[in-house]
Amino acid sequence: MRRRRMGCLVIALASAIAFGTGASSARAEDPSEPLNPRAAETAIDLSRTSRELAEVERRLDLARQELPTADTAVAITDSAIASNRDAIARARLEVKAEAIAVYRMHNVGVGALGSIEHVDDLDRADRYTAAMRAVDLGQLSELETMEDQLEKARAQRAAPRDALLGAIDKLDQSRAELSALQDHDQGLLDSWGAVPVMGDAWLTASQLSDWYRSTGYTPTLPPGTTIDDLARMYLEEGAAEHVRGDFAFAQGVVESAYFTVDAGNNYAGIGACDSCAGGFVFGSPRDGVRAQIQLLRNYADPDSRAANLAYPPVRGLYPEDRASAARVYDSFFLKGDVPLWNLMGHGNWATDPDYASKVVKLFARIVAYSRRTLSGG
């Protein structure tokens, strides 16, 4: 039974080749060398940790964006409380002054009565003073009631702010722990010369396209699509699925003879085999790149499902009906079995036993070219 040549991707071994890091470099030159038996599991753990870290950072960013609004709400209430307390202090001083005036009025000397023409004047004065005192005390009571209301409002507004602060502290702690775990697992993989399929791109789209132009090749692409466009598609689609788009670009170069083969926007030999004429055909360059990236993720990520892809499975590689496409994608027989580039070839994506080494070495040349360009060499 013929085995189709299907997709795969590389990550960190290129650095070993490009920068020469001892044992890792040797294994990168020869991916057939035995790997540490923990490498595949560690690569999967690293991918999961990276996804968790990305989610924690997303939630942390959201919490920090919400915090100024929560702080402002509390600050406004604090300002209102301060103003109200100033008003209460003034009202109490006024009541105190009124009380002193009343005391003095009711303790007037007998000689002062001569200045009052009628006894009724005293009664009217008492009633007026009582009315004024009642107004003062009423205002004070309203201000004190408002203080209680403002304190309750502050507590209500402070609760979500304090919850945000607590969440930010926990997320910061989680981020630190996940970052440490990520560094630990990546360090192990580097020391073993193991190359995960999943991860973030090292190179930019312009670095990829600049290197390509330096080769002197002319790509065979649909009208209106440039090598710059194609490089950008690789990085965008790779980032969407957390697959190394720059390595997928290198894989496409190897598979398509430097993008000179017109194979129906199929740049990764998907569906091609050693004894047949061609493989799948896709409706656009974007579809071809997306199909390659989605397939790479299916090889490498045991958690990959159609439901958690950034986009629906590509028509042309999967059935047009979405439910059927999801079943096909979700039931991939090698799902998560090939998380390392070292395991590619020998029937995984390609039958060529040197397949992984070819792509890794090519990526290393792209990295080396980009380094020389940056250094002016």
pLDDT in tens, 102-122: 556 555 444 444 444 555 555
One domain, residues 129 and 239: no
Q: Is residue 47 part of a domain?
A: no
Residue 255 is assigned to a structural domain of this protein: yes
CA distance 167 to 165: 5
Place of tokens 């203080």: 147
Which of residues 145, 169, 190 is at a domain's end?
Answer: 190
What pLDDT shows up at residue 199?
Answer: 94
Residue 364 lies in a domain: yes
* Whether residue 150 is found in the same domain as residue 206: no
Domain end: 190, 206, 238, which one? Answer: 190
| Residue 242 sits in the same domain as residue 365 | yes
Distance CA 208, CA 365 (A): 11
Check whether residue 244 and residue 176 sit in a common domain: no
Report the chain (377 residues): mean pLDDT per 10 consecutive residues: 33 38 45 80 96 96 93 88 80 66 54 49 55 60 80 84 94 96 95 90 95 97 97 98 95 95 92 74 96 97 97 94 96 94 88 90 92 79
Q: Who contacts 3 (Cβ-Cβ below 8 Å, separation ≥6)?
A: 273, 347, 351
pLDDT tens for 4-53 read 333 333 333 334 433 333 334 445 445 556 889 999 999 999 999 999 99
- Shared domain for 216 and 362, answered yes or no, is yes
Residue pair 282/261 in contact (Cβ under 8 Å)? The answer is no
| Domain co-membership, 231 together with 340 | yes
40, part of any domain: no
Phi, psi of 243 (to 5 degrees): -115, 145
d(CA 250, CA 123): 103
d(CA 84, CA 34): 76
**d(Cα 120, Cα 147) in Å, to the nearest integer?**
41
**207 and 185 within one domain:** no
d(CA 121, CA 54): 83
The total number of structural domains that make up the chain: 2
Residue 26 belongs to some domain of the structure: yes
Q: Which helix (H) or strand (E) holds 287?
A: helix 285-300
Contact 329, 298 (CB under 8 A): yes
Answer for the pair 288, 221: CB distance below 8 angstroms, yes or no. no
pLDDT, residue 157, reads 84
Please answer whether residues 121 and 159 qualify as being in contact, where contact means their C-beta atoms are separated by less than 8 angstroms: no
pLDDT at 44: 97
Residue 204's pLDDT is what? 96
Q: Are residues 224 and 360 in the same domain?
A: yes
Domain interval for residue 347: 13-35+193-375
In a shared domain, residues 76 and 146: yes
Q: Judge whether 54 lies within some domain.
A: no
CA gap 251, 268 in Å, rounded: 7
pLDDT at 134: 57
Distance CA 13, CA 340 (A): 10
* 214 and 177 inside one domain: no
CA distance 200 to 336: 18
Q: Is residue 41 part of a domain?
A: no
Do both 243 and 125 map to the same domain?
Answer: no
Q: Does 263 map to a domain?
A: yes
Point out the domain boundary residue: 141, 174, 190: 190
DSSP state of 3: P
Considering the domain architecture, whether residues 220 and 340 belong to the same structural domain is answered as: yes
Contact 281, 45 (CB under 8 A): no
